[in-house]
Amino acid sequence: MNEKNHENCPLTQALLVIGGKWKPLIISHLQKSPKRFGQLHTLIPKLSRKVLTSQLQELTRDKLITRHSYAETPPRVEYRLTEKSKELVPIFQSMSKWGMYLIDKKIIEEREDN
């Protein structure tokens, strides 16, 4: 953040690429093994197919995932992380850990409210 200014701030750059509402979630789901379009949709049901498509396209464009399409029928398409995005996994894990702490706190506060 000490950097020049707004423009070339690395954090801003990173957020441009992974700042989407669903992208961290998608990347997290791909961390263990490649997943198909339909699997991702099942894992994140609140995410519509249209938006899932667009997020996957953007992630592919930015080279955070690769798309492997198998000429089977019915068609099968798998998405997997690239080396670039594998480095993000521990970051999202930390964030997840922090989120868990948030949930705990929330439960405590709810208790105190009663």
Of the candidates 52, 77, 80, the residue with the CA atom closest to the CA atom of residue 65: 80
DSSP 8: G
DSSP 96: H
Min dist. Cβ of residue 50 to DNA (A): 4
- Among a copy of itself, DNA, none, the one that 33 touches (CB under a kind-dependent 5 to 8 A) is none
96 is a site residue for a copy of itself (CB under 8 A): yes
Helical residues (DSSP H) of the chain, grouped into ranges: 10-18, 23-30, 37-43, 49-61, 83-86, 89-113
Min dist. Cβ of residue 35 to DNA (A): 9
Q: Per DSSP, what are the bridge partners of residue 65?
A: 81
| Among 4, 6, 50, 111, contact with a copy of itself (rule: CB under 8 A) | 6
Sheet of 35-36, strands arranged across: 35-36, 76-81, 65-70
29 is a site residue for a copy of itself (CB under 8 A): yes
111 is a site residue for a copy of itself (CB under 8 A): no
Min dist. Cβ of residue 106 to a copy of itself (A): 8
Q: Return residues touching DNA (CB under 7 A).
A: 20-22, 36-38, 46-51, 53-57, 67, 69, 73-77
